[in-house]
Amino acid sequence: MNCKQFNSISLEEVLLSLGHLPTKQNEKEAWYLNPFASESQASFKLEKRINAWYLHSEGVGGNNTDFMKKYLNASVNEVLDWAQKQNFSSFHQQAQIKKSEPNYTIDEILDLQNPNLKQYLQGRGLSPKVYDHIKEVRFTIGSKKLYTIGFENLSGGFELRNAFYKGSLLKKDVSIIDLNSNGQDKSNIQNRDIRGVAVFEGFMDALSFIEMQKSFVGDILVMNSIALLNKSIEHLKNYPDIHLFLDNDNAGIKCRSEIIRSFPAAKDHASFYSNHKDLNEFLIHRMKNNVSNKAGKQSEQSQEPNKMKAVNQEPKIKNSNGFKRKR
């Protein structure tokens, strides 16, 4: 990645990736608290049309490269090295727009069957219980053929994962799963019964929730990128009950705060996995504990009911508009 490419990325997405959310915004501009120092009144302005920033409290501004040089106190090369590792969605979208032909071809989209992908899911703590909500996507990039787990979004694009690859195909968008329909629902939510929703940043966390839950009957919304926060908030306006299962990192905390600011009645369930980065990391930890307990003597297990109860716990959501509490 060079400076021109990095500067073409939405600065709004760059700020989101660092955990900074606007205090106010409209179609033309957004205002943030100073990302470089503590302040009580927003003085950092983002001009969306030209993708440039200006910090009024210090009288400085510039492009993405200028911002990250100051933010990281780093050289241009160090900034570009950092940017290359971030996998910004807006960069991939722009790259696709500039190409007259995509640099990939989708060969097949089918139900999950590859044993390597199933083994990968098993290592993430996921069983065949989640298979209805994913696909196996086989595609070719250049001359290289790949197969991945595919998680479809509302625009027909896919988030892709296997043990060695992480990416996306086609248009980036949020995903909504109606658990009552055993798959992803692309119909207008206005035409369905309004119910509660559980919100996740990535689909592995959403699948982890499905794996653990036994009684949840609402919808699941997966942001697929924190850059889609505003779009996710628009979808959340359709739900009477919002339950948040976002990551326990800086960006996740900021996203959680922004959603709760828009929907003060939203419930935050991050304390359920407070010692882990996200829900899937918690599930993997729980799986390893479960394996360890099963390897022990049966008598030792019977003497530790509290430990086994912790191993078998699931996220509990209060009974409200379609949600049921585990009994």
* pLDDT by 10s per residue, the chain, length 327: 788 888 888 888 888 878 788 888 888 899 999 988 888 888 999 999 899 999 998 889 999 999 999 888 888 988 888 888 776 764 544 444 344 445 678 888 999 999 999 999 999 999 999 999 999 999 887 777 888 899 999 988 888 888 887 778 778 889 998 877 544 444 454 545 567 899 999 999 999 999 988 777 789 999 988 778 888 999 999 898 999 999 888 778 888 888 998 999 999 998 888 888 889 999 998 888 776 666 665 545 445 444 334 434 666 665 444 444 443
Quickly tell me which residue has 């479960």 as its tokens: 290
Confidence at residue 186, expressed as pLDDT on a 0 to 100 scale? 46
Same structural domain, 90 and 132: no
Residue 304 vs residues 87, 205, 249, 310, 311: alpha-carbon distances, Å: 44, 29, 32, 10, 11
- Pair 18, 82 in one domain: yes
How many other C-beta atoms are found inside a 10 Å radius of the C-beta of residue 5? 16
123's CB contacts (< 8 A; 6+ apart) are: 163, 284
Q: Is residue 203 part of a domain?
A: no
The secondary structure of residue 17, as a DSSP letter, is H
Would residue 78 count as lying in a domain? yes
Give me the number of domains the chain comprises: 2
pTM to 2 decimal places:
0.63
Confidence at residue 248, expressed as pLDDT on a 0 to 100 scale: 86
Chain centre to alpha carbon of residue 45? 26
104 and 91, same structural domain?
no
Which of residues 76, 97, 118 is at a domain's end? 97
What was the pLDDT predicted at 103? 64
Residues 86 and 111 placed together within one structural domain of the fold: no
Q: Confirm whether 153 is domain-assigned.
A: yes
Instruction: Give the residue numbers spanning the domain of 77.
Output: 3-97
- Identify whether 40 is part of a domain: yes
Parallel/antiparallel/unpaired status of strands 29-32 and 24-25? antiparallel
Whether 92 and 123 map to the same domain: the answer is no
Query: Which pLDDT score, from 0 to 100, does residue 321 have?
Result: 45
Residue 92 belongs to a domain? yes
How high is the pLDDT of residue 54?
Answer: 93
Q: What is the CATH number of the domain that holds 10?
A: 3.90.580.10
Query: Which of 41, 72, 97 represents a domain boundary (last residue)?
Result: 97
Last residue of a domain, one of 45, 71, 97: 97
For residue 115, what pLDDT is reported?
92
Quote the CA–CA distance of 69 and 75 in Å, as a whole number: 6
- Report yes or no on 151 lying in a domain: yes
Are residues 106 and 25 part of one domain? Answer: no
Single out the residue of 50, 56, 9, 8 nearest to residue 36, CA to CA.
56
Query: Could you tell me if residue 158 is inside a domain?
Result: yes
Q: Which H or E element spans position 138?
A: strand 135-141
Q: Are 61 and 53 within 8 A, CB to CB?
A: yes
268 part of a folded domain: no
